Structure 1
């Protein structure tokens, strides 16, 4: 651990250890809106978690460090490079990883890369010039520990006449010792890269015992046990790969439009390739993905529900069906959305693609909300300028005064924009 990390660690480490040792619980988080109903705070001084929280306290908040929001566009569905574990907040930075308490006021602990980062947080732009490449870190359990992973592009300066070169560093932090880096893996990067992608790297997810890393258009696999890079996928890729089961489904670049490919998570080798050209891709269930592709000689692109293991089409959605941004609710329903000014929301059976409900409704009595988060059978969203929680299976309103509509939740706290819109705030789940 570097000296500056030791100094920063201090009492924050004690609070993280206490927090992560709390009784386990699952998610909860929401966001504030104009005229939002105020959820009453919990009367208990102890940490509480809720499997599927529907209310958050507007009185018990923690303003997160600027790393949680700087250089990120608020137009994104998940605008914050943030992940949660038992109320602890982990924030990916282009130059490292921040950890901070989501329940109490504390100083953030910053874990830095081994070499000079290609981009420093202070150089991330804002507004229309937002250019922070960081994405949410991955939190996963392995070897009886819970780990946080982040990826950073670094520059290794050559000694003497040796040529300088770039690396992507995968850093691993044990949540029980959140002030220090437990281990790291460095992977060499080629000198050539797409314009604008110089500092772009993030953790896609976990497939089996491999951590999948995206950097400068490439995909890599790192073994959790050996900490070694075990594969590099052929070709170059657009951002947005997803992991479903033991498959990595990604958009491979070619001379025309990208194509959807399924890669084996253990080896990085091709398992299948779609015969259609692709425009979009999103997760649509534990073993399914939703794509927006154009078939040869077709009059336009359509949404396809694909089996992640084989690439087989489970269903082709109607042309007017929402399907560009999908998420599985963790129970039995996949929620998809389209549009920002005039949004549409629909629920599908992830096995068959059958539409279960849609908003706006045909009677014209209900509007479609702007979906923030789909989790644990619930939809957290904004409608008519206010936060709302919907039941994912039925589409019916479940809570009209949740306090906030979160982008992220873990059952202890929820994360949404700060009141001035320049950062992020943690709100305590209370019901």
Structure 2
């Protein structure tokens, strides 16, 4: 049984054919950084970018150079926060320089003997109207006296403008986390009001989710056996295990109380898709016949069936009003693209459109009403509400974007695919 704890927030992308090593001089970039305007959404990006840290594409890039998982990066203003299990780096998106590093106060776990730990992207939350960076780190707490050593999760909350830790809280993990060879993945899920939500998991078999009061810095609730992957309408949604079976599930984000549990599934992916829907991709138990559904976050009931082409596809919310999805045609390798209203789920447009002689792009992400992607003709941008081509090429096909920069794949030395950051230019 293969479980995916979260869905891509940026759809898969083919790599940009241009290497991105020869960016402008550091002095020129530093001067430009101070005056860089914000574009919501960007229409164009610089064609030369800065290489991001190594390892961001490990295990999430398939043989066709498409992303099958999200890179552990969060964009905030002109900074890219890159998460690892034992640190977070703040990177200036103007020049790729590391400006700060956030590390846990506790003892970071040690990797070895084939054991690897992972981290999701840090999350930007709001505390009392002020943005904050939420980052969980798995740590080792040494024993004292009769108290045995054990694994824990240290949750750091930082000022994202200064990359400085404001406060920390350390919570003990369940006993399964102490077993030898356990590989932990720590994920900052997000926040609902004053409650921050953090999940820690091991493979498909074990998970735990915590609710933290972001004002008092105390644990409110804990649910062992549940891995939250997102929050929608006050419900922490994700998957939970029970007697080796997996279910989509929803828990109240403020209290942790169970709200609903879905049917037993295989190969499932459960994700909050925008503020009003849960996206469920899975296979029926026994037949493993694929299906894709939009669920009501409050009840877990199916609100809409989506095209089967999306059973192995990806979807993204443009942070405004539209859900954009990308998959491949049934039994083919042809791209298929769909857009839905983020409130009603109504289909807005889909490609390909044979009558209009239009093909579907390989969608990479969407932001504030603009869809980014690529075809055999190069990078393209579409209007998220109408699906119509926009006149200006974005120059790159970003997989993650904000008003200041975009992250995209590019080849290095003519063969190796890496992640680069490109400033927004218009």
Question: TM-score by structure 2 length?
Answer: 0.80
The residue aligned with 1:182 is: 166
Q: State the match for 1:158 in structure 2.
A: 143
- Choose which of 255, 279, 283 in structure 1 pairs with 2:272: 283
- Alignment of 1:233 with 2:223, yes or no, is yes
Of 138, 153, 156, the match for 1:168: 153
Q: Quick one: which of 27, 30, 35 aligns to 1:46?
A: 35
Question: Partner of 1:192: helix, strand, or coil?
Answer: helix
What is the alpha-carbon distance in structure 2 between the residues aligned to residue 85 and residue 55 of structure 1?
19
1:71 is matched with which residue: 58, 74, 77? 58
Alignment correspondent of 1:115: 106
Maintained 8 Å contact 1:34/1:385 = no
**Equivalent of 1:84, from 75, 78, 85?**
75
The answer to whether the Cα contact below 8 Å between 1:48 and 1:412 also exists between their aligned partners in 2 is: yes
2:405 is the alignment partner of 1:413: yes
Equivalent-residue separation in structure 2 for 1:257 and 1:378 (angstroms): 39
In structure 1, the residue matched to 2:6 is: none
How many Å apart are 1:296 and its aligned residue?
Answer: 8.2
1:243 corresponds to which of 215, 231, 251:
231
Instruction: Note if 1:428 corresponds to 2:418.
Output: no
Of 140-149 and 190-199, more deviation after overlay is shown by 190-199
Distance of 2:211 and 2:84 partners within structure 1: 21
SS of equivalent to 2:380: strand
Tell me the residue number matched to 2:212: 222
Task: Find the aligned partners of 1:201 and 1:84 in 2 and give their Cα distance.
Answer: 19
For structure 1, the 5+ residue unaligned runs are 1-29
2:118 to 133, 140, 144: 133
SS of the equivalent of 2:119 reads coil
Alignment RMSD (CA, Å): 3.4
Does the alignment pair 1:34 with 2:24?
A: no
Pair 1:159–1:403, CA change in 2 (3 A): same
* Residue in structure 1 matched with residue 262 of structure 2 by the alignment: 274
The residue number in structure 1 matching 2:300 is 311
- 2:246 corresponds to which of 247, 254, 258: 258
1:327 paired with 2:322, answer: no
CA–CA distance in structure 1, aligned partners of residues 215 and 222 of structure 2:
18
| Deviation of the 1:220 alpha carbon | 0.8
The 8 Å contact of residues 252 and 261 in structure 1, kept in 2 or not, is answered as yes
- Secondary structure, in 3 states, of the residue corresponding to 1:395? coil
Q: 1: distance between equivalents of 2:130 and 2:344?
A: 36
Tell me which protein shows more strand as a share of its residues.
Answer: 2
Matched, 1:62 2:47: no
Deviations 1:233-255 (A, max 9, x none): 25344xx7221120111111233
Q: Which region of structure 1 is more displaced relative to structure 2, 221-230 or 300-309?
A: 300-309
- Shift in CA distance, 80/124, structure 1 to aligned 2, threshold 3 Å: farther
Instruction: After TM superposition, give the deviation of residue 319 of structure 1 in Å.
Output: 4.2
> How far 1:396 moved relative to its partner?
2.1
Aligned length: 388
Q: 1:159 to 1:423 in 2, by over 3 A?
A: farther
1:332-366 alpha-carbon deviations (Å, 9 max, x no partner): 32222224943322122344443332222244833
Q: Residue 83 of structure 1 contacts residue 91 of structure 1 at CA under 8 Å; is this kept in 2?
A: yes
How much does 1:77 deviate? Answer: 4.7
- 1:359-384: CA deviation from partner (whole Å, max 9, x where unpaired): 22244833332222122112222222
Would the aligned equivalents of 1:230 and 1:267 in 2 still touch at CA under 8 Å? yes
Structure 1 SS opposite 2:118: coil
Structure 1 residue 170 displacement after superposition: 1.0
Which residue in 2 is equivalent to 1:367?
359
Unmatched runs of 5 consecutive residues or more in structure 2: 1-12, 20-27, 202-206
Q: Give matches, 1:3-14, under 5 Å.
A: none
Q: How far 1:57 sits from its partner (Å)?
A: 1.0
Displacement of 1:399 = 4.8
Contact kept? 1:347, 1:393, Cα under 8 Å: yes
TM-score, L = length of structure 1: 0.79
- Which whole-Å deviations, capped at 9, do the CAs of 1:196-221 have from their partners, x for residues lacking one? 75231110111221111111211111
Q: Does the 8 Å CA contact 2:232/2:272 hold for their aligned counterparts?
A: yes
Inter-CA distance 105–72: structure 2 relative to 1 (3 Å threshold): same
